């Protein structure tokens, strides 16, 4: 029986690129190091924010290895690396899991295939994830994100059934459905099956429902603030934690309005001194001057950045 990842704050790291859309290695390393210094329990490489679908197989493996190497070289051997390995076929997903193990990942986070959504019946979804887990050299987790899987949204019964597999150890619920999360946490402990919310705007609500923590995009901007909220909640400082949660709620909404992945990269480059806002086409580069001068959500993110600095 495989062991789930420990509770805490995880970040689906953005992957910094140069003007030619190649890896910006110094910026990638600087970002991984800032996240680790901020207290992140682990780094998710090639989550949706890591542009996994835009990378070659070799690039995916290289990004995992670079993340693991950066952590190890800087004294963060205990920080976990989770690799996003979902692909559109069972065969390729198995290959990505093998690559992830070789590159230093401890867990694989697997999206449900979605090119043929009508073919992905509940039985077929369960079969896919079980066969992936059967063959995987590292424990797997179920990644439920309807926004990137053509609307496919796994229900709590499906996830619960998959949780009985000895090599399926958790899930990331980016659907934002707290009811679904609570139905799962009421039947499964974090030591059996780790259930993470995939959104900062539901972080404290998921903790209240018994989640293992968060794996969310906004942690790219403010890892310390997320860790601080988690620690405050665990200490019973509910009022302080709720004040921070209010900021996260507005910040998550702002990130969605400033360009998503490109917006996160732009904010990080502007406020933390490394990287550039380049993304792989067809994603769109966010114009820094327009972001600063005309985007009403920019001020919301400044509040989060000020919180992080404090």
The residue from 29, 94, 143, 224 that is catalytic is 143
The pLDDT assigned to 117 comes to 84
Task: Report d(CA 105, CA 286) in Å as an integer.
Answer: 31
Which one has a higher pLDDT value, 117 or 281? 281
**Residue 51 is assigned to a structural domain of this protein:** yes
Tell me: the pLDDT tens digits for 16-60? 999 999 999 999 999 999 999 999 999 999 998 999 989 999 999
Active site residue 143: yes
Tell me: the pLDDT tens digits for 197-246? 999 999 999 999 999 999 999 999 999 999 999 999 999 999 999 999 99
Cα atoms in the 13 Å half-sphere on the side-chain side of 202: 24
Q: What is the DSSP letter of 227?
A: H
The average pLDDT across 47-74 equals: 96
Residue 102 confidence (pLDDT) above 70? yes
Q: How many domains does the structure of the chain reveal?
A: 1
The pLDDT assigned to 15 comes to 98
The average pLDDT across 117-142 equals: 96
pLDDT-derived band at 118 (thresholds 50, 70, 90) equals confident
Query: 154: helix, coil or strand?
Result: coil
Percent of the chain, pLDDT > 70? 99
Instruction: Identify which of 36, 19, 17, 37 has the alpha carbon closest to the alpha carbon of residue 27.
Output: 17
**Residue 292 is assigned to a structural domain of this protein:** no
Percent of the chain, pLDDT > 90? 87
178 is in an annotated binding site: no
Tell me: the pLDDT tens digits for 180-191? 999 999 999 999
Lowest mean pLDDT: which of 96-105, 205-214, 255-264? Answer: 255-264
**Residue 253 is assigned to a structural domain of this protein:** no
Structure-token pair, residue 199: 């959104």
The pLDDT assigned to 294 comes to 64
The average pLDDT across 61-76 equals: 98
**Residue 128 is assigned to a structural domain of this protein:** yes
Q: For residue 157, which phi and psi values (nearest 5 degrees)? A: -65, -40
The average pLDDT across 122-145 equals: 97
Active site residue 172: yes
The pLDDT assigned to 236 comes to 96
The average pLDDT across 263-284 equals: 94
**Residue 43 is assigned to a structural domain of this protein:** yes
pTM listed for this prediction = 0.96
**Residue 104 is assigned to a structural domain of this protein:** yes
The pLDDT assigned to 189 comes to 95
Task: Report d(CA 36, CA 42) in Å as an integer.
Answer: 8
The residue from 29, 61, 101, 172 that is catalytic is 172
- Residue 10 near residue 217 (C-beta atoms within 8 A): no
pLDDT-derived band at 291 (thresholds 50, 70, 90) equals confident
Concatenating the DSSP letter of every residue in 49-105 gives GGTGGGS-HHHHHHHHHHHHHHHHHTT-TTSEEEEE---SSHHHHHHHHHHHHHHT-
Domain that holds residue 147: 8-237
**Residue 78 is assigned to a structural domain of this protein:** yes
The pLDDT assigned to 70 comes to 98
Write the burial class of residue 309 (CB in 10 Å: 0-12 exposed, 13-18 middle, 19+ buried): exposed
CATH number of the CATH domain containing 204: 3.20.20.70
Structure-token pair, residue 107: 């867990």
**Residue 186 is assigned to a structural domain of this protein:** yes
């Amino acid at each position: 029986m495989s062991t789930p990842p420990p509770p805490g704050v995880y970040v689906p790291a953005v992957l910094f690129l140069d003007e030619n859309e190649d890896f910006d290695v110094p910026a990638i390393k600087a970002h991984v190091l800032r996240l680790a210094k901020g207290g992140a329990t682990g780094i998710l490489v090639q989550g949706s924010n890591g542009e996994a679908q835009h990378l070659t197989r070799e690039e995916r493996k290289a990004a995992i290895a670079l993340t693991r190497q950066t952590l190890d070289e800087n004294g963060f051997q205990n920080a976990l690396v989770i690799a996003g390995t979902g692909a559109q076929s069972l065969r390729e997903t198995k290959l990505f899991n093998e690559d992830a193990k070789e590159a230093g990942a401890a867990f694989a986070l697997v999206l449900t295939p979605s090119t043929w959504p009508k073919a992905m019946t509940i039985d077929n979804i369960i079969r896919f994830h079980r066969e992936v887990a059967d063959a995987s050299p590292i424990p797997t987790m179920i990644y439920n994100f309807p926004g990137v899987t053509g609307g496919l949204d796994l229900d709590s019964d499906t996830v619960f059934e998959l949780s009985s597999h000895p090599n399926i150890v958790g899930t990331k619920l980016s659907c934002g459905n707290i009811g679904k999360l609570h139905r799962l946490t009421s039947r499964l402990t974090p030591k059996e099956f780790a259930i993470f919310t995939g959104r900062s705007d539901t972080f404290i609500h998921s903790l209240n429902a018994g989640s293992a923590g968060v794996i969310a995009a906004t942690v790219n901007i403010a890892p310390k603030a997320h860790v601080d909220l988690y620690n405050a909640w665990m200490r019973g400082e509910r009022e302080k934690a709720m004040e921070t949660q209010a900021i996260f709620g507005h910040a998550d909404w702002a990130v969605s309005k400033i360009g998503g992945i490109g917006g996160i990269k732009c904010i990080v480059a502007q406020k933390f001194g490394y990287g550039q806002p380049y993304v792989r086409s067809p994603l769109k580069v966010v114009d820094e001057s327009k972001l600063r001068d005309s985007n009403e959500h920019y001020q919301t993110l400044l509040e989060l950045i000020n919180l992080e600095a404090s």
